[in-house]
Amino acid sequence: MENRLKPMDAEQLREYGHKMVDFIADYYKTIENFPVLSQVEPGYLRNLLPDSAPNQPDSFQHVLDDIQAKILPGVTHWQSPNYFAYYPSNSSVAGFVGEMLSAGLNIVGFSWITSPAATELEIIVLDWLAKMLKLPEDFLSAGQGGGVIQGTASEAVLVVLLAARDKVLRRVGKDALEKLVVYASDQMHSSLQKACQIAGIHPENCRLLKATSSTNYALSPEFLSETISQDLTIGLIPFFLCATVGTTSSTAVDPLLSLGKIAKSNGMWFHVDAAYAGSACVCPEFRHYIDGVEEADSFNMNAHKWFLTNFDCSALWVKDRSALVQALSTNPEYLKNKASQANMVVDYKDWQVPLGRRFRSLKLWMVLRLYGLENLQCYIRNHIKLAKHFENLIAQDPRFEVVTPRIFSLVCFRLLPVRNDESHGNKLNHQLLDAVNSTGSAFISHTVLSGKYILRFAVGAPLTEEKHVNAAWKVLQDKATSLLAESL
Ligand code: PLP
């Protein structure tokens, strides 16, 4: 019989914590035994669990057994070395122990006073990361700017959109909301559209400008200029431009410098979303992809994607922190305190949507300290090397083509349509995706570019090695052979 579990008890925590760490370590040891993409059917869990919570405590071992038997089959294994879908979402030893410490302390650091170390470490660690990325000094905390950890890139774009909206409305009058216009390419992540919905931007004033293969799916500055001019002519107010470095579909890189100049000359807020590719820019040879970031008002990268920091950790920097604070601050009596009232401190509650916030800087700090810049650079370079290797494998098989130039660690490719029949080609690639993913031995995802169904192979899981890339390619080739034979 186990001892009754107390709400908190150091020795019980030690015992359960050790058991859980062992369970997780064993998970990582055997992770390749699971199908990468969960193969369960919708609703599978309802039949496996009771209708209501137990009245009496269950045993820890019993719960662990249920996790093994009932939960893990419904898990898609993002940390599997055979995971190549979407973009990665990295876990690491350093990120994990940092997350553990954050869970252990379990503070809620909305104001400086609620845990001074949480606020101060976040400021320092984001300054460190800004320096690793060689961001302009204006983004550092010493001036008017600074960094903040948001949960996701979606929250990052939302808070800067709100800051930009309120800033322009202070200038042109609050009744002008319906005239405000937002610009991005149609390759921009859907989070911008959601942010516009929340911010009350008229849906027809959200301009998602078509990007084509002629620019490798990057936003054309000329097209942007023309559209802004047309909007100005009819009395609209352009106020927000969002560029992406490493788009979700195909890692397209928008030309930051020229876009930023257009934004500046029109008094617009310029946000750069480098959610995935930002991590690569800590390597000197990839830093040029964010050249022009000096024109930006805000910059975002997800350390939880490809930077060994467990989810969630989305780093956002702004040049004018007061714009964020003006849009998002509240000052209720029950939160007043000397340091905040005297304006001596940062209260991160005023830089984000929720009040409560976790001590997320701990895990990023651990990642930066326990790996160091050089190891992080090697980590990124290795994935890019593996992606190049995959690209070479495709090039050797005339049945396939690489569809867009590979820039980082994502390869966009497809099985060529038989007899130039594009619609059959789309169906074929869709079937290939399903066939590969249903084997459970690799997981890839898809997109559509210029009407073509494209397969995406994103290298970036921490355990992936060349043998995993080769094995995934073999599955792709074998499945392609069967599908082509069937379609003859
Ligand atoms: N921006 C880009 C370029 C992305 O690729 C993604 C997700 O993959 C996002 C934003 C949204 O990320 P999040 O889940 O952090 O909101």
Distance 87 CA to ligand 1 centre (A): 9
Q: Is the CB of 302 under 6 A from ligand 1?
A: yes
pLDDT digits (tens, 9 = 90+) for 168-192: 999 999 999 999 999 999 999 999 9
pLDDT at 3 over 80: no
Arithmetic mean of pLDDT, 14-41: 98
Q: What number does the ligand 1 atom closest to the CA of 314 have?
A: 15
Q: Is the CB of 87 under 6 A from ligand 1?
A: yes
DSSP line for 209-238:
E---GGGTTPPPHHHHHHHHHHHHHTT-EE
Distance 57 CA to ligand 1 centre (A): 40
Helices (H), 409-465: 422-439
Q: Is the CB of 110 under 6 A from ligand 1?
A: no
pLDDT digits (tens, 9 = 90+) for 235-276: 999 999 999 999 999 999 999 999 999 999 999 999 999 999
Q: Is 104 helix (H, G, I), strand (E, B) or coil?
A: helix
Q: What is the pLDDT of residue 456?
A: 98
Q: Is the CB of 312 under 6 A from ligand 1?
A: no
Q: What number does the ligand 1 atom closest to the CA of 302 have?
A: 15
CB atoms within 10 A of CB 173: 10
208 closest CA partner among 259, 258, 253, 243: 243
Q: Is the CB of 244 under 6 A from ligand 1?
A: yes
Side chain identity at 72, as an amino acid letter? L
Of 486 and 432, the one with more pLDDT: 432
**How far apart (Å, rounded) are the C-alpha atoms in residues 461 and 196?**
32
pLDDT bucket at 448, cuts 50 / 70 / 90? very high
Arithmetic mean of pLDDT, 405-430: 95
Q: Is the CB of 404 under 6 A from ligand 1?
A: no
Strand pairing report for 180-185 and 206-209: parallel
425 closest CA partner among 459, 401, 406: 401
- Which residues make Cβ contacts (< 8 Å) with residue 218, sequence separation at least 6? 185, 187, 211, 252, 253, 254, 255
* Helices and strands per DSSP (H, E), number in the chain: 14, 11
Strands (E), 435-478: 445-449, 452-458
Q: Is the CB of 92 under 6 A from ligand 1?
A: no
Of all residues in the chain, the percent with pLDDT exceeding 90 is: 98
pLDDT at 96 over 90: yes
Q: What does the block give as tokens for 16?
A: 């359960």
**How far from each other are the two terminal CA atoms of the chain, in whole angstroms?**
64
Distance 194 CA to ligand 1 centre (A): 12
pLDDT at 1 over 50: no
CA distances 259 to 84, 225, 273, 291, Å, are 31, 9, 13, 12
Distance 377 CA to ligand 1 centre (A): 21
Distance 153 CA to ligand 1 centre (A): 5
Q: What does the block give as tokens for 123?
A: 């400021």
- The preferred substitution site among 160, 193, 248 for testing ligand 1, maximizing ligand atoms within 8 Å of CB, is 248
Q: Is the CB of 189 under 6 A from ligand 1?
A: yes
Q: Is the CB of 153 under 6 A from ligand 1?
A: yes
Distance 301 CA to ligand 1 centre (A): 9
Q: What is the pLDDT of residue 442?
A: 98
Arithmetic mean of pLDDT, 55-69: 97
Distance 132 CA to ligand 1 centre (A): 21
Strand pairing report for 237-244 and 206-209: unpaired
- Under the phi-then-psi rule, with left for phi > 0, alpha for psi from -120 to 50, and beta for the rest, what region is 200? left
Q: What number does the ligand 1 atom closest to the CA of 248 have?
A: 5
Q: What is the pLDDT of residue 213?
A: 96
Q: Is the CB of 150 under 6 A from ligand 1?
A: no
pLDDT digits (tens, 9 = 90+) for 192-220: 999 999 999 999 999 999 999 999 999 99
pLDDT at 2 over 60: no
Q: What number does the ligand 1 atom closest to the CA of 152 have?
A: 15
Distance 275 CA to ligand 1 centre (A): 6
Element (H, E) at 420: none
Q: What is the pLDDT of residue 488?
A: 72
Q: What does the block give as tokens for 411?
A: 């390869």
Distance 455 CA to ligand 1 centre (A): 18
Write b or e for each residue in 366-405: b if 16 or more Cβ atoms lie within 10 A of its Cβ, otherwise e. bbbeebeeeebbebbeebbebbeebbebbeeeeebebbbe
Q: Is the CB of 340 under 6 A from ligand 1?
A: no
pLDDT at 11 over 50: yes
> From atom 14 of ligand 1, which residue's Cα is the shortest distance away?
152
Query: pLDDT averaged over the chain?
Result: 97
- The preferred substitution site among 273, 306, 316, 412 for testing ligand 1, maximizing ligand atoms within 8 Å of CB, is 273
Q: What is the pLDDT of residue 419?
A: 86
